[in-house]
Protein backbone atom coordinates (compact mmCIF):
# COMPACT_ATOMS: atom_id res chain seq x y z
CA UNK A 1 0.00 0.00 0.00
CA UNK A 2 1.22 3.50 -0.80
CA UNK A 3 1.07 6.23 1.80
CA UNK A 4 -1.83 8.39 0.70
CA UNK A 5 -4.63 10.42 2.16
CA UNK A 6 -5.57 7.70 4.61
CA UNK A 7 -7.29 8.68 7.84
CA UNK A 8 -5.20 8.91 10.99
CA UNK A 9 -5.75 6.05 13.39
CA UNK A 10 -3.14 6.65 16.05
CA UNK A 11 -1.63 9.94 17.11
CA UNK A 12 1.23 10.66 19.46
CA UNK A 13 0.97 14.27 20.57
CA UNK A 14 4.18 15.69 22.00
CA UNK A 15 4.81 12.54 24.03
CA UNK A 16 7.70 12.43 26.49
CA UNK A 17 8.70 9.56 28.75
CA UNK A 18 11.15 10.22 31.56
CA UNK A 19 12.95 7.58 33.60
CA UNK A 20 14.30 9.58 36.49
CA UNK A 21 16.07 12.47 34.80
CA UNK A 22 16.66 10.60 31.55
CA UNK A 23 14.18 11.01 28.72
CA UNK A 24 13.71 7.70 26.93
CA UNK A 25 11.33 9.45 24.49
CA UNK A 26 11.39 13.18 23.96
CA UNK A 27 8.55 15.34 22.58
CA UNK A 28 7.48 12.77 20.02
CA UNK A 29 4.67 13.58 17.61
CA UNK A 30 3.62 11.00 15.09
CA UNK A 31 0.54 10.03 13.13
CA UNK A 32 -0.10 6.44 12.10
CA UNK A 33 -2.57 6.03 9.24
CA UNK A 34 -5.27 3.42 8.96
CA UNK A 35 -3.95 0.23 7.36
CA UNK A 36 -0.36 1.31 6.97
CA UNK A 37 2.76 -0.66 7.89
CA UNK A 38 4.88 1.71 9.90
CA UNK A 39 8.32 0.75 11.16
CA UNK A 40 10.17 2.46 13.97
CA UNK A 41 13.85 2.03 13.17
CA UNK A 42 16.76 3.01 15.35
CA UNK A 43 19.79 1.74 17.23
CA UNK A 44 19.47 -0.02 20.54
CA UNK A 45 18.42 2.36 23.31
CA UNK A 46 16.87 4.95 20.98
CA UNK A 47 13.42 4.59 22.59
CA UNK A 48 11.62 2.30 20.14
CA UNK A 49 10.26 -0.17 22.66
CA UNK A 50 9.20 2.66 24.96
CA UNK A 51 7.08 4.12 22.14
CA UNK A 52 5.41 0.76 21.61
CA UNK A 53 4.90 0.14 25.34
CA UNK A 54 3.19 3.50 25.70
CA UNK A 55 0.91 2.73 22.78
CA UNK A 56 0.10 -0.64 24.31
CA UNK A 57 -0.61 0.98 27.66
CA UNK A 58 2.12 -0.85 29.59
CA UNK A 59 4.00 2.39 30.17
CA UNK A 60 2.40 5.78 30.85
CA UNK A 61 3.71 8.92 29.11
CA UNK A 62 5.21 11.53 31.43
CA UNK A 63 3.89 14.28 29.16
CA UNK A 64 1.74 14.50 26.06
CA UNK A 65 -1.14 12.41 24.85
CA UNK A 66 -1.82 9.34 22.75
CA UNK A 67 -5.01 9.37 20.71
CA UNK A 68 -6.49 6.28 19.08
CA UNK A 69 -9.42 6.65 16.69
CA UNK A 70 -9.99 10.17 17.95
CA UNK A 71 -10.02 9.30 21.67
CA UNK A 72 -7.30 9.89 24.23
CA UNK A 73 -6.23 6.55 25.68
CA UNK A 74 -3.92 7.88 28.37
CA UNK A 75 -6.34 6.80 31.09
CA UNK A 76 -7.18 3.42 29.53
CA UNK A 77 -5.31 0.45 31.07
CA UNK A 78 -3.64 -1.99 28.69
CA UNK A 79 -6.09 -4.84 29.34
CA UNK A 80 -8.93 -2.60 28.20
CA UNK A 81 -7.14 -1.80 24.96
CA UNK A 82 -7.78 -3.81 21.88
CA UNK A 83 -4.53 -4.73 20.16
CA UNK A 84 -2.42 -7.59 18.96
CA UNK A 85 1.17 -7.71 20.19
CA UNK A 86 4.12 -9.86 19.17
CA UNK A 87 7.42 -9.58 20.96
CA UNK A 88 10.88 -10.86 20.14
CA UNK A 89 10.53 -13.63 22.68
CA UNK A 90 7.56 -15.55 21.41
CA UNK A 91 5.73 -15.51 24.73
CA UNK A 92 3.51 -18.45 23.84
CA UNK A 93 2.02 -20.34 26.77
CA UNK A 94 4.49 -23.23 27.02
CA UNK A 95 2.05 -25.61 28.72
CA UNK A 96 -0.69 -25.15 26.09
CA UNK A 97 -0.88 -26.67 22.61
CA UNK A 98 -0.74 -24.42 19.56
CA UNK A 99 -4.50 -24.76 19.28
CA UNK A 100 -5.10 -23.79 22.88
CA UNK A 101 -2.69 -20.86 22.54
CA UNK A 102 -4.82 -19.53 19.68
CA UNK A 103 -8.10 -20.21 21.44
CA UNK A 104 -7.08 -18.36 24.56
CA UNK A 105 -7.65 -14.76 23.38
CA UNK A 106 -11.01 -15.80 21.89
CA UNK A 107 -12.06 -17.47 25.12
CA UNK A 108 -11.20 -14.27 26.99
CA UNK A 109 -13.66 -12.45 24.75
CA UNK A 110 -16.36 -14.99 25.32
CA UNK A 111 -16.39 -16.45 21.80
CA UNK A 112 -18.22 -19.79 21.91
CA UNK A 113 -16.52 -23.15 21.34
CA UNK A 114 -17.85 -23.86 17.86
CA UNK A 115 -16.91 -20.41 16.59
CA UNK A 116 -13.52 -20.67 18.32
CA UNK A 117 -12.70 -23.93 16.59
CA UNK A 118 -13.69 -22.48 13.23
CA UNK A 119 -11.56 -19.38 13.67
CA UNK A 120 -8.56 -21.35 14.90
CA UNK A 121 -8.75 -23.71 11.91
CA UNK A 122 -8.91 -20.80 9.51
CA UNK A 123 -6.01 -19.03 11.18
CA UNK A 124 -3.81 -22.15 11.32
CA UNK A 125 -4.33 -22.56 7.62
CA UNK A 126 -3.44 -18.95 6.94
CA UNK A 127 -0.10 -19.25 8.70
CA UNK A 128 0.64 -22.65 7.14
CA UNK A 129 0.41 -24.58 10.40
CA UNK A 130 -2.67 -26.64 9.67
CA UNK A 131 -1.16 -29.87 10.97
CA UNK A 132 0.52 -28.36 14.02
CA UNK A 133 -2.48 -27.55 16.20
CA UNK A 134 -1.81 -30.43 18.57
CA UNK A 135 1.86 -29.66 19.17
CA UNK A 136 3.34 -27.96 22.17
CA UNK A 137 5.36 -24.77 21.52
CA UNK A 138 8.57 -26.59 22.48
CA UNK A 139 7.97 -28.99 19.58
CA UNK A 140 8.12 -26.16 17.04
CA UNK A 141 11.01 -24.37 15.36
CA UNK A 142 11.67 -20.71 16.12
CA UNK A 143 10.02 -19.63 12.88
CA UNK A 144 6.96 -21.78 13.55
CA UNK A 145 6.65 -20.43 17.09
CA UNK A 146 6.82 -16.92 15.74
CA UNK A 147 4.08 -17.73 13.24
CA UNK A 148 1.89 -19.00 16.07
CA UNK A 149 2.59 -15.79 17.98
CA UNK A 150 1.52 -13.77 14.92
CA UNK A 151 -1.58 -15.90 14.50
CA UNK A 152 -2.48 -15.44 18.15
CA UNK A 153 -2.05 -11.68 17.87
CA UNK A 154 -4.29 -11.55 14.80
CA UNK A 155 -7.00 -14.01 15.76
CA UNK A 156 -9.09 -11.56 17.78
CA UNK A 157 -9.28 -9.12 14.82
CA UNK A 158 -7.52 -6.31 16.68
CA UNK A 159 -7.61 -2.80 15.17
CA UNK A 160 -3.82 -2.71 15.04
CA UNK A 161 -0.83 -4.96 15.42
CA UNK A 162 2.32 -4.14 17.40
CA UNK A 163 5.54 -5.99 16.64
CA UNK A 164 8.68 -5.54 18.73
CA UNK A 165 11.69 -7.05 16.94
CA UNK A 166 9.67 -10.22 16.29
CA UNK A 167 12.16 -11.64 13.80
CA UNK A 168 15.47 -10.67 15.33
CA UNK A 169 16.00 -14.03 17.04
CA UNK A 170 15.72 -15.92 13.77
CA UNK A 171 18.62 -16.76 11.48
CA UNK A 172 18.98 -14.91 8.20
CA UNK A 173 17.16 -17.24 5.78
CA UNK A 174 14.27 -17.80 8.13
CA UNK A 175 14.09 -14.10 8.87
CA UNK A 176 13.71 -13.28 5.19
CA UNK A 177 11.07 -15.96 4.80
CA UNK A 178 9.17 -14.60 7.80
CA UNK A 179 9.49 -11.06 6.45
CA UNK A 180 7.59 -11.97 3.33
CA UNK A 181 5.08 -13.84 5.46
CA UNK A 182 4.51 -10.83 7.70
CA UNK A 183 4.15 -8.72 4.58
CA UNK A 184 1.57 -10.98 2.98
CA UNK A 185 -0.35 -11.24 6.27
CA UNK A 186 -0.41 -7.45 6.39
CA UNK A 187 -1.65 -7.34 2.82
CA UNK A 188 -4.30 -9.96 3.48
CA UNK A 189 -5.62 -8.52 6.75
CA UNK A 190 -5.06 -4.86 5.88
CA UNK A 191 -4.36 -4.28 9.54
CA UNK A 192 -2.48 -1.19 10.74
CA UNK A 193 0.91 -2.49 11.85
CA UNK A 194 3.55 -0.76 13.93
CA UNK A 195 6.79 -2.64 13.96
CA UNK A 196 9.98 -1.90 15.86
CA UNK A 197 13.39 -2.98 14.62
CA UNK A 198 17.07 -2.06 14.49
CA UNK A 199 17.39 -3.98 11.20
CA UNK A 200 17.41 -1.53 8.27
CA UNK A 201 16.85 -4.23 5.69
CA UNK A 202 13.73 -5.42 7.46
CA UNK A 203 12.46 -1.84 7.69
CA UNK A 204 13.09 -1.19 4.00
CA UNK A 205 11.46 -4.45 2.94
CA UNK A 206 8.27 -4.27 4.97
CA UNK A 207 7.26 -0.69 5.54
CA UNK A 208 4.97 1.82 3.92
CA UNK A 209 6.73 4.41 6.08
CA UNK A 210 9.74 4.36 8.37
CA UNK A 211 10.31 6.50 11.44
CA UNK A 212 14.03 6.79 12.19
CA UNK A 213 14.65 7.33 15.89
CA UNK A 214 17.78 8.56 17.59
CA UNK A 215 18.21 9.18 21.30
CA UNK A 216 14.48 9.33 22.03
CA UNK A 217 13.62 11.63 19.15
CA UNK A 218 12.42 11.27 15.60
CA UNK A 219 15.21 11.99 13.17
CA UNK A 220 13.15 11.60 9.97
CA UNK A 221 9.89 10.00 8.81
CA UNK A 222 9.26 9.02 5.22
CA UNK A 223 8.73 6.19 2.75
CA UNK A 224 11.63 3.70 2.43
CA UNK A 225 12.48 5.03 -1.04
CA UNK A 226 12.53 8.66 0.04
CA UNK A 227 14.55 7.94 3.19
CA UNK A 228 17.17 6.06 1.24
CA UNK A 229 17.29 8.49 -1.66
CA UNK A 230 16.94 11.74 0.26
CA UNK A 231 18.15 11.29 3.82
CA UNK A 232 17.91 14.52 5.77
CA UNK A 233 20.80 13.89 8.12
CA UNK A 234 24.13 12.12 8.20
CA UNK A 235 22.72 9.78 10.84
CA UNK A 236 19.85 8.65 8.59
CA UNK A 237 22.15 8.36 5.57
CA UNK A 238 24.50 6.00 7.36
CA UNK A 239 21.89 4.11 9.37
CA UNK A 240 19.95 3.21 6.22
CA UNK A 241 22.57 1.80 3.91
CA UNK A 242 26.13 2.90 3.32
CA UNK A 243 27.01 6.52 2.78
CA UNK A 244 30.14 8.25 1.49
CA UNK A 245 30.66 11.63 3.08
CA UNK A 246 32.65 13.77 0.67
CA UNK A 247 35.17 16.17 2.16
CA UNK A 248 35.36 19.54 0.52
CA UNK A 249 39.06 19.66 1.20
CA UNK A 250 39.80 16.62 -0.95
CA UNK A 251 38.27 17.88 -4.18
CA UNK A 252 35.77 20.38 -5.36
CA UNK A 253 32.26 19.07 -4.83
CA UNK A 254 30.19 19.71 -7.88
CA UNK A 255 26.49 19.17 -7.55
CA UNK A 256 23.44 20.29 -9.46
CA UNK A 257 22.29 22.32 -6.48
CA UNK A 258 24.24 24.65 -4.21
CA UNK A 259 25.40 23.21 -0.89
CA UNK A 260 23.25 24.55 1.96
CA UNK A 261 25.24 25.81 4.94
CA UNK A 262 25.83 23.29 7.73
CA UNK A 263 25.47 20.27 5.46
CA UNK A 264 27.77 17.53 4.26
CA UNK A 265 27.90 16.17 0.72
CA UNK A 266 26.95 12.50 0.51
CA UNK A 267 26.87 9.92 -2.25
CA UNK A 268 25.73 6.28 -2.16
CA UNK A 269 28.35 3.62 -3.03
CA UNK A 270 26.32 2.26 -5.96
CA UNK A 271 26.20 5.71 -7.55
CA UNK A 272 29.96 5.76 -8.07
CA UNK A 273 31.51 3.95 -11.02
CA UNK A 274 35.11 2.81 -11.01
CA UNK A 275 36.85 3.09 -14.37
CA UNK A 276 40.40 2.98 -15.65
CA UNK A 277 42.33 6.08 -14.91
CA UNK A 278 42.38 8.20 -18.07
CA UNK A 279 39.34 6.42 -19.54
CA UNK A 280 37.76 8.26 -22.48
CA UNK A 281 35.12 10.84 -21.62
CA UNK A 282 31.54 9.64 -21.72
CA UNK A 283 28.90 11.27 -23.82
CA UNK A 284 27.24 12.67 -20.70
CA UNK A 285 30.56 13.96 -19.34
CA UNK A 286 29.15 17.42 -18.75
CA UNK A 287 26.79 15.99 -16.11
CA UNK A 288 29.52 13.99 -14.44
CA UNK A 289 32.23 14.59 -11.98
CA UNK A 290 35.36 12.49 -11.83
CA UNK A 291 38.25 12.21 -9.43
CA UNK A 292 41.40 10.11 -9.39
CA UNK A 293 42.01 7.72 -6.52
CA UNK A 294 44.06 4.72 -5.45
CA UNK A 295 42.42 1.34 -4.78
CA UNK A 296 42.89 0.49 -1.13
CA UNK A 297 40.90 -2.73 -1.12
CA UNK A 298 38.64 -4.84 -3.29
CA UNK A 299 35.98 -7.00 -1.67
CA UNK A 300 33.99 -9.77 -3.29
CA UNK A 301 30.53 -9.97 -1.81
CA UNK A 302 28.80 -12.66 -3.87
CA UNK A 303 27.13 -10.89 -6.76
CA UNK A 304 28.59 -7.55 -5.68
CA UNK A 305 32.06 -6.10 -5.89
CA UNK A 306 33.09 -3.37 -3.52
CA UNK A 307 36.08 -1.10 -3.75
CA UNK A 308 37.62 1.08 -1.11
CA UNK A 309 39.32 3.91 -2.94
CA UNK A 310 41.52 6.55 -1.35
CA UNK A 311 40.94 10.06 -2.65
CA UNK A 312 42.95 12.63 -0.73
CA UNK A 313 42.16 12.00 2.92
CA UNK A 314 38.84 10.28 2.13
CA UNK A 315 38.25 6.59 1.71
CA UNK A 316 35.31 6.18 -0.64
CA UNK A 317 33.31 2.97 -0.88
CA UNK A 318 31.85 1.84 -4.20
CA UNK A 319 29.52 -1.03 -4.95
CA UNK A 320 28.70 -2.58 -8.29
CA UNK A 321 27.25 -5.74 -9.71
CA UNK A 322 29.98 -8.08 -10.78
CA UNK A 323 29.50 -8.56 -14.53
CA UNK A 324 31.40 -11.27 -16.35
CA UNK A 325 34.39 -10.15 -18.36
CA UNK A 326 34.53 -6.91 -16.43
CA UNK A 327 37.94 -5.46 -15.65
CA UNK A 328 38.76 -5.58 -11.96
CA UNK A 329 41.22 -3.33 -10.21
CA UNK A 330 43.86 -4.37 -7.73
CA UNK A 331 45.02 -2.80 -4.51
CA UNK A 332 47.42 0.06 -5.26
CA UNK A 333 46.08 0.68 -8.75
CA UNK A 334 45.15 4.17 -9.84
CA UNK A 335 41.50 4.47 -10.89
CA UNK A 336 39.02 7.10 -11.87
CA UNK A 337 35.79 7.47 -9.90
CA UNK A 338 32.84 8.96 -11.70
CA UNK A 339 29.39 10.00 -10.62
CA UNK A 340 26.51 12.09 -11.83
CA UNK A 341 26.40 15.48 -10.18
CA UNK A 342 22.68 14.93 -9.65
CA UNK A 343 23.51 11.96 -7.37
CA UNK A 344 25.14 14.18 -4.75
CA UNK A 345 22.94 14.71 -1.68
CA UNK A 346 23.40 17.24 1.08
CA UNK A 347 22.69 16.01 4.58
CA UNK A 348 22.65 17.85 7.88
CA UNK A 349 25.80 17.13 9.84
Mention every residue, 6+ apart, whose C-beta is less than 8 A from residue 322. 300, 303, 304, 305
In whole angstroms, the minimum distance from the beta carbon of 83 to ligand ADP comes to: 18
Burial 119-150 (b: 16+ CB within 10 A, else e): bbeebbebbebeebbeeebeebeebbbbbbbb
Q: Does 49 bind ligand ADP (CB under 6 A)?
A: yes
DSSP letters for 301-342 = ETTEEEEEEEETTEEEEEEEE--TT-----TT-EEEEEEEGG
Out of 33, 48, 175, 214, point to the residue binding ligand ADP (CB under 6 A).
48
In terms of DSSP bridges, do strands 288-301 and 334-340 run parallel, antiparallel, or are they unpaired?
antiparallel
| Among ligand ADP, Mg ion, none, partner that 200 touches (CB below 5 to 8 angstroms by kind) | none
| Among Mg ion, ligand ADP, none, partner that 268 touches (CB below 5 to 8 angstroms by kind) | none
Nearer to ligand ADP, 19 or 300 (CB): 19
Q: Does 220 bind Mg ion (CB under 5 A)?
A: no
Out of 9, 39, 50, 145, point to the residue binding ligand ADP (CB under 6 A).
50
Among the listed ranges 44-52, 130-138, 262-270, 279-287, the one in contact with Mg ion (CB under 5 A) is 44-52
Distances (CA, A) of 21 to 219, 278, 295: 22, 59, 49
Quick note: the x/- pattern for Mg ion over 8-27, rule CB under 5 A, is --------------------
Q: Are 267 and 339 in contact (CB under 8 A)?
A: yes
| Among Mg ion, ligand ADP, none, partner that 46 touches (CB below 5 to 8 angstroms by kind) | ligand ADP
Distances (CA, A) of 263 to 100, 231, 237, 283: 56, 12, 12, 31
Quick note: the x/- pattern for ligand ADP over 8-47, rule CB under 6 A, is -----------x----x-----------------x-xxxx
Cα–Cα distance measured from residue 285 to residue 143, given in angstroms and rounded to the nearest whole number: 51
| Among ligand ADP, Mg ion, none, partner that 93 touches (CB below 5 to 8 angstroms by kind) | none
Q: Does 64 bind ligand ADP (CB under 6 A)?
A: no
Strand segments (E) across 171-287? 192-197, 209-214, 217-222, 244-246, 263-267, 273-276
Nearer to ligand ADP, 20 or 303 (CB): 20
Residues 85-104 that bind Mg ion (CB under 5 A): none
Cα–Cα distance measured from residue 1 to residue 176, given in angstroms and rounded to the nearest whole number: 20
Cα–Cα distance measured from residue 336 to residue 275, given in angstroms and rounded to the nearest whole number: 5
In whole angstroms, the minimum distance from the beta carbon of 239 to ligand ADP comes to: 13
In whole angstroms, the minimum distance from the beta carbon of 182 to Mg ion comes to: 18
| Among Mg ion, ligand ADP, none, partner that 244 touches (CB below 5 to 8 angstroms by kind) | none
Out of 9, 46, 49, 318, point to the residue binding Mg ion (CB under 5 A).
49
Per CB under 6 A, residues contacting ligand ADP are 19, 24, 42, 44-50
Per CB under 5 A, residues contacting Mg ion are 49
Amino acid sequence: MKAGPLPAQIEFRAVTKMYGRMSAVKDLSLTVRLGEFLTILGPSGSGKTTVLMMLAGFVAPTEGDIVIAGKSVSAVPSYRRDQGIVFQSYALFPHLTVRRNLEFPLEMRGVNGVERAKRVDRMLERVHLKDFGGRMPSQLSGGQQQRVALARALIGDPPFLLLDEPLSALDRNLREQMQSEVKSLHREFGITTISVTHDQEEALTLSDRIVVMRAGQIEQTDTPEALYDRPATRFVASFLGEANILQNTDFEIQADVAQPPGTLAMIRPERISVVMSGAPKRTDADQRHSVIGIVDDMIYAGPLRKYHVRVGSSLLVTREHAASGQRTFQRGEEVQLEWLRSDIRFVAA
